[in-house]
C-alpha cells in the first residue's frame, strides 16, 4: 500500500465501489483525483483506429492508478476500467498534494514507486519490441511478479487470461497459448487447472 487508507481518509478521501466493466476515468479526461486500489483489479487500456483493445497494464490491490499525471498538466492517455469488482479510495488532487507536502517520506515512497514502474515499463517496451513471443510473454510475467515479495520459482499466479496476455503483448491468442505450452515444457512455468504459475 503506497499511502495508508487511514491517512487518505483523514485528508477527505472517499471509498468507491466499482463493478466489472465500470469506467473509473476515460482517455482525455483531466486528472482530478488520486486513486488507490483497496481490492480488485483495474486495467488501463486504449483502443486503436480499428477498435482493437490494447491493454497497457493491469493494476491490483495496493497500487495507485495513473498518479504520475497528477504532477503534469496533461489529460489521461488511457482508460481505467474495473477488471473485476473493485474498491478504490479516491482523493482530490489538491489534497493529495497536501499529503505529499505534509509527509515527505510518503513523497519519497511515491517517487520510488514511480521509478520502479517506469523501469519495468522500459523493460516491457524493450521486450514487446522483440520478434520472439517468448521474450514478450516472459517480460509481462516478470513485470507482474516484480510487485510481489515472493520471487521463488512458480510462487506467482499470473493474474491474466491468455486473451489478456495477447492484448498486452500484441500477439495473437493462438501464439500466446502455444508459447505458454513451450514455457511449461521448458519448466519455466507450471500450469495448474489452467492457471499459470511463474
**Cβ 29 vs Cβ 65: under 8 Å:** no
Task: Decide: 89 and 36 in contact? Cβ < 8 Å.
Answer: yes
Element (H, E) at 46: strand 42-47
Name the pLDDT band for 91 (thresholds 50, 70, 90). Answer: very high
Please tell me the predicted confidence (pLDDT) of residue 1: 59
Task: Collect all residues with Cβ–Cβ distance below 8 Å to 105 and sequence separation of at least 6.
Answer: none
Residue 19 backbone dihedrals phi, psi, to 5 degrees: -90, 160
pLDDT of 167 strictly over 90: no
First-to-last C-alpha distance (Å) of the chain: 23
Q: Say what the pLDDT of residue 19 is.
A: 98
Alpha-carbon gap, residue 100 to 120, rounded angstroms: 24
**pLDDT bracket for residue 28 (50, 70, 90):** very high
d(CA 20, CA 118): 27
Query: Residue 175's pLDDT band (boundaries 50, 70, 90)?
Result: very high
Average pLDDT, rounded, for the chain: 92
Give the model confidence (pLDDT) of 114-149 as tens digits.
888 788 778 878 888 899 999 999 988 988 888 778
Write the DSSP assignment of 57-82 as a string of letters.
EEE-TT-BSSGGGGGSS---SSEEEE
- Look at the block and give the residue holding cell 495508508: 4
**137-162 average pLDDT score:** 88
Cell 486503436 belongs to residue: 48
Cα–Cα distance measured from residue 63 to residue 39, given in angstroms and rounded to the nearest whole number? 10
Task: Supply the pLDDT for residue 36.
Answer: 97
In the predicted structure, residue 155 carries a pLDDT above the cut 90: yes
pLDDT attached to residue 49: 84
Contact status, residue 163 vs residue 173, Cβ threshold 8 Å: yes
Q: What is the pLDDT of residue 53?
A: 84
Q: Which residue has the higher pLDDT, 82 or 117?
A: 82
Amino acid at each position: 500500500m503506497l499511502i495508508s487508507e487511514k491517512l487518505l481518509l483523514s485528508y477527505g478521501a472517499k471509498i468507491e465501489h466499482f463493478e466489472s466493466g465500470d469506467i473509473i476515468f476515460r482517455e482525455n479526461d483531466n486528472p482530478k483525483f488520486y486513486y488507490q486500489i483497496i481490492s480488485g483489479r483495474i486495467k488501463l487500456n486504449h483502443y486503436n483506429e480499428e477498435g482493437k483493445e490494447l491493454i497497457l497494464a493491469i493494476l491490483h490491490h495496493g497500487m495507485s492508478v495513473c498518479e504520475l499525471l497528477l504532477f503534469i498538466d496533461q489529460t489521461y492517455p488511457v482508460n481505467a476500467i474495473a477488471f473485476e469488482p473493485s474498491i478504490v479510495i479516491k482523493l482530490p488532487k489538491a489534497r493529495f498534494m497536501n499529503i505529499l507536502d505534509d509527509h515527505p517520506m510518503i513523497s519519497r515512497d511515491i517517487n520510488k514507486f514511480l521509478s520502479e514502474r517506469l523501469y519495468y515499463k522500459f523493460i516491457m517496451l524493450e521486450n514487446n519490441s522483440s520478434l520472439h513471443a517468448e521474450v514478450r510473454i516472459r517480460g509481462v510475467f516478470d513485470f507482474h511478479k516484480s510487485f510481489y515479495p515472493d520471487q521463488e520459482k512458480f510462487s506467482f499466479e499470473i493474474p491474466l487470461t491468455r486473451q489478456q496476455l495477447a492484448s498486452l503483448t500484441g500477439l495473437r491468442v493462438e501464439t500466446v497459448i502455444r508459447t505458454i505450452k513451450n514455457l511449461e515444457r521448458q519448466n519455466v512455468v507450471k500450469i495448474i487447472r489452467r492457471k499459470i504459475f511463474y
